[in-house]
Structures are given as structure tokens and as C-alpha cells.
């Protein structure tokens, strides 16, 4: 539970909600994948099955917006927005690369949710890079 | 933009944590300001100036 103790109220709320949403994403993703694999739903049920694991992802985007609204520390807000921009840049780069691959005849179909994983990992790496570059000195003076 | 935040803080014997508490920001923010990695917004610059009881231009200098 250490990850809930650091930072201000907005940061702790963001991390707690984010963890719960990621857990619910994995549960719905694996649950729906299992059900689709065995029951082969069609029509409305298939749309509903696809919507279920998407909801926690919308939730993650919503709590990111809420965090930006609640965060009072402008430097933390700034690094968070920069990290989000890095995430968007990596996703766009990946999509462009895959687009060119298809243009040149590649027929592979990577799962659509790969973009979201790339986005999350890029944002995390960017956040930790900013944190590392702005290491707080051990002596307090 | 450069600033004299570290020197002013040292003159008063304040820790980064104390300054962060007074400004109601994180210690990371204070460190980023002191090392020039982040330039504060006008409201934060005014808060800093009020805390040190100095005019903004004597704390922050424009490099241009």
C-alpha cells in the first residue's frame, strides 16, 4: 500500500482509482475473452462484449482529466501533461509505422488495444524519466 | 530564466521541505525551480515573492 501514501491528495486519489480501473480492465478483458472464445456471440452481444473491457479504459482517461483538475501543484501538472504528450507521440509513431507496413504489403493485424498498452507504458516511462531527472538531493539544505 | 531561490532559501536557513510547505507545492517542485528545470507561473512567482518579501524581479531574472 506504499504507493498510496506518497504525494498529495489528488495524486493518491489518481493512483488508487487507476489501480482499481486497471484491475477491473484485466478482469473484464480476460473474462470477456474467455466468454467470446466459448460462446461466439454475434450482433448486439458481440458489441456489448467489446464495450465491456473498453469501459475501464475510458475510466482511466476520465481520472487523468480529474487529476489534472484537482492537482494544485503546477509542476506536477506540467510533468503529467508532458508525460501524456510522450504517450500520444509514441502511439502516433507506432500507428504510422504499422500504417506504412500495411501500405507496403504487410498483412498482419496486431490487436487494436496494443495502442493503449504502448500509451500507458510510454506515459509511465516519461513520468519516471522526469522524476529521475529532477531527483531531490538527499541532504535537505 | 534564472532565479536566486536556492541562495535566498539558504540565507534564511530554510529546508526545501519547509519552502515547499510554505508555498503549498511538492518538494520536487521546489527542486525543479531551484535547478532551473521549471519556470513558475506568475501566480506562483508572486507567492514566492510575497514569502521572501522581495520584488519578483530581484528573485527571477530574464536571460534575454
Residue from A16, A20, A21, A17 nearest A1 by CA:
A16
Q: Do A140 and B40 touch (CB under 8 A)?
A: no
Specify if B37 maps to a domain.
Answer: yes
Task: Give the residue extent of every domain in chain A.
Answer: 1-72, 74-132
- Mean pLDDT over A99-108 rounds to 92
Specify if B62 maps to a domain.
Answer: no
- Mean pLDDT over A35-52 rounds to 93
Q: Do A76 and B28 touch (CB under 8 A)?
A: yes
Q: What is the β-pairing status of strands B60-61 and B2-3?
A: antiparallel
Find all residues with CB under 8 Å of A5, minimum gap 6, and list them.
Answer: A12
Nearest to A141 among B15, B27, B29 (CB): B15
Q: Do A75 and B15 touch (CB under 8 A)?
A: no
- Mean pLDDT over A64-83 rounds to 96
- pLDDT band for position A136 (cuts 50, 70, 90): confident
Specify if B47 maps to a domain.
Answer: yes
Please tell me which residue of chain A has the smallest CA distance to B31.
A136
Q: How far is B12 from chain A, CA to nearest CA, in Å?
A: 11
| Res A8: pLDDT | 85
> What is the count of structural domains for chain B?
1
Q: What nine digits make up the cell of A57?
A: 479504459
| Res A51: pLDDT | 95
Find all residues with CB under 8 Å of B15, minimum gap 6, and list them.
Answer: A140, A141
Specify if B63 maps to a domain.
Answer: no
A141 contact residues in B (CB cutoff 8 A)? 10, 15-16
Do A123 and A87 touch, CB atoms closer than 8 A?
A: yes
Q: What's the CA gap between B35 and B4, in Å, rounded?
A: 10
Chains A–B, number of C-beta pairs less than 8 Å apart: 44
Q: Do A133 and B33 touch (CB under 8 A)?
A: no
Asked if pLDDT for residue B64 goes beyond 80, the answer is no
B47 contact residues in A (CB cutoff 8 A)? none
Domain extent, residue B15, equals 2-54
- Mean pLDDT over B16-43 rounds to 94
- CATH of residue B38's domain is 1.10.260.40
Asked if pLDDT for residue A6 goes beyond 70, the answer is no
Angle subtended at Cα A95 by Cα A46 and Cα A87, rounded to the nearest 5 degrees: 95
Amino acid at each position: 500500500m506504499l504507493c498510496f501514501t506518497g504525494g498529495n491528495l489528488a495524486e493518491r486519489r489518481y493512483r488508487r482509482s487507476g489501480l482499481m480501473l486497471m484491475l477491473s480492465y484485466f478482469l473484464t478483458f480476460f473474462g470477456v475473452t474467455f466468454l467470446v472464445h466459448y460462446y461466439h456471440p454475434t450482433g448486439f452481444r458481440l458489441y456489448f462484449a467489446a464495450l465491456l473491457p473498453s469501459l475501464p479504459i475510458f475510466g482511466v482517461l476520465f481520472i487523468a482529466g480529474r487529476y489534472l483538475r484537482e492537482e494544485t501543484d503546477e509542476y506536477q501538472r506540467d510533468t503529467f501533461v508532458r508525460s501524456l504528450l510522450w504517450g500520444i507521440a509514441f502511439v502516433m509513431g507506432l500507428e504510422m509505422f504499422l500504417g506504412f507496413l500495411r501500405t507496403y504489403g504487410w498483412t498482419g493485424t496486431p490487436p487494436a488495444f496494443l495502442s493503449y498498452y504502448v500509451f500507458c507504458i510510454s506515459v509511465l516511462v516519461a513520468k519516471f524519466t522526469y522524476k529521475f531527472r529532477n531527483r531531490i538531493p538527499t541532504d535537505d539544505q | 530564466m534564472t532565479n536566486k531561490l536556492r541562495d535566498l532559501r539558504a540565507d534564511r536557513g530554510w529546508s526545501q521541505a519547509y519552502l515547499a510547505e510554505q508555498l503549498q507545492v511538492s518538494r520536487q517542485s521546489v527542486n525543479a525551480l531551484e535547478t532551473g528545470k521549471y519556470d513558475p507561473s506568475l501566480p506562483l512567482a508572486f507567492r514566492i515573492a510575497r514569502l521572501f518579501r522581495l520584488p519578483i524581479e530581484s528573485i527571477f531574472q530574464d536571460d534575454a
